[in-house]
């Protein structure tokens, strides 16, 4: 098992049980004590868990907690890839799309680089970089200005002012969390304002969000569940969440991972 796969396994276990013990990981993963401790150190440095004597724990996210882009890229990678593939199938050549910040939209950008005659609006430095590295003559990419957040989004008055003059066919909105009570949320107040401006400029709202976003609530609401034309999640989304989303959003798509 590669280090990245092993660390993802450790993360999944600590999120499921709230804590892990080094001795159990050594036994179950079939690696040395030193290897497990090194993996825990790497994950702790990324802010994904907290090391404690004999193991590690992870706390529930606060409403203003905003992990960095690098930390989020390690989470739910297969699910995000499946969601990105499903989202890409909604994009037609010759259209204008907006991608907000987030690692799922970053994965989506990689699936859109071959779509011809596309106009892309984004406030994500990472998303813009994907298209910059894969340039083509029939594509236009507009990166808004603004203040940079930990998730590499450009937000604030400059970004909002730019977005108020634009109109796109489809917005792919990355979110921190979603729930019946709070809708689609973010832990960053300035990002919420910018994302609301993105919603206003879009003809269709698509929310690509993996199962871990359900019942996670950030400090500020971007949009209500009913405002989404499409929500794309993964096969690990539970039955109750599926019912709630199907009742409120226009359409719920469950993306299956590649075999």
Contact 174, 126 (CB under 8 A): no
Neighbours of 251 (CB within 10 A): 12
Query: In terms of pLDDT, which residue wins out, 143 or 257?
Result: 143
Neighbours of 130 (CB within 10 A): 22
Q: Distance (Å, rounded) from C-alpha 57 to C-alpha 11?
A: 10
pLDDT beyond 80 at 13: yes
Q: E strands of the chain, at which residues? A: 19-21, 50-52, 55-57, 96-99, 119-122, 140-143, 147-148, 154-155, 168-172, 177-179, 183-186, 202-208, 220-223, 230-234, 252-255
pLDDT beyond 70 at 75: no
| Rounded average pLDDT over 143-161 | 92
Residue 76 has a pLDDT of 72
Encoding tokens for residue 32? Answer: 């040395």
Q: Which of 15-24, 172-181, 220-229 has the lowest mean pLDDT?
A: 15-24
pLDDT beyond 60 at 70: no
Contact 229, 249 (CB under 8 A): yes
The alpha carbon of residue 124 and the mean position of all alpha carbons in its chain are separated, in whole angstroms, by 12
The alpha carbon of residue 153 and the mean position of all alpha carbons in its chain are separated, in whole angstroms, by 12
Q: Distance (Å, rounded) from C-alpha 4 to C-alpha 15?
A: 16
Query: In terms of pLDDT, which residue wins out, 154 or 50?
Result: 154
DSSP track, 64-130: T----HHHHHTSSHHHHHHHHHHHHTT--TT-EEEE-SSHHHHHHHHHHTT-SS-EEEESBHHHHHH
| Rounded average pLDDT over 60-89 | 72
* Angle (CA) 132 133 136, round 5°: 70
Among 215, 230, 224, 206, which residue's Cα sits nearest to residue 177? 215
Domains and CATH numbers, the chain: 3-57 (1.10.10.10), 69-255 (3.40.50.1360)
Residue 84 has a pLDDT of 97
Residue 66 has a pLDDT of 55
pLDDT beyond 80 at 64: no
Confidence of residue 11 (pLDDT cuts 50, 70, 90): confident
pLDDT beyond 90 at 36: yes
Encoding tokens for residue 77? Answer: 């990678």
| pTM of the entire predicted model | 0.74
């Amino acid at each position: 098992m590669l280090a990245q796969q092993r660390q993802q396994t450790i993360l999944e276990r600590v999120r499921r049980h709230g804590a892990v013990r080094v001795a159990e990981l050594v036994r179950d993963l079939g690696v040395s004590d030193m290897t497990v401790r090194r993996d825990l150190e790497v994950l702790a440095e990324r802010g994904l868990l907290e090391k404690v004597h004999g193991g590690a724990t992870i706390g529930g996210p606060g409403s203003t907690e905003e992990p960095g882009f690098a930390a989020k890229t390690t989470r739910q990678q297969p699910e995000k890839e499946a969601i990105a593939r499903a989202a890409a199938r909604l994009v037609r050549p010759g259209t204008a799309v907006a991608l907000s910040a987030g690692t799922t939209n970053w994965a989506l950008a990689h699936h859109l680089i071959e779509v011809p005659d596309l106009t892309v609006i984004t406030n994500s430095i990472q998303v813009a970089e994907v298209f910059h590295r894969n340039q083509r003559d029939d594509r236009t990419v507009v990166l808004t200005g603004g203040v940079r957040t930990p998730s590499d989004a450009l937000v604030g008055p400059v970004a909002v002012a730019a977005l108020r003059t634009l109109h796109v066919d489809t917005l792919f909105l990355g979110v921190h969390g979603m729930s019946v009570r709070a809708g689609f949320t973010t832990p960053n107040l300035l990002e919420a304002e910018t994302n609301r401006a993105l919603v206003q400029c879009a003809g269709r709202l698509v929310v690509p969000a993996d199962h871990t976003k359900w019942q996670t609530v950030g400090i500020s609401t971007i949009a209500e569940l009913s405002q989404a034309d499409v929500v794309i999640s993964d096969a690990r989304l539970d039955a109750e969440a599926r019912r709630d989303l199907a009742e409120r959003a226009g359409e719920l798509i469950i993306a299956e991972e590649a075999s």
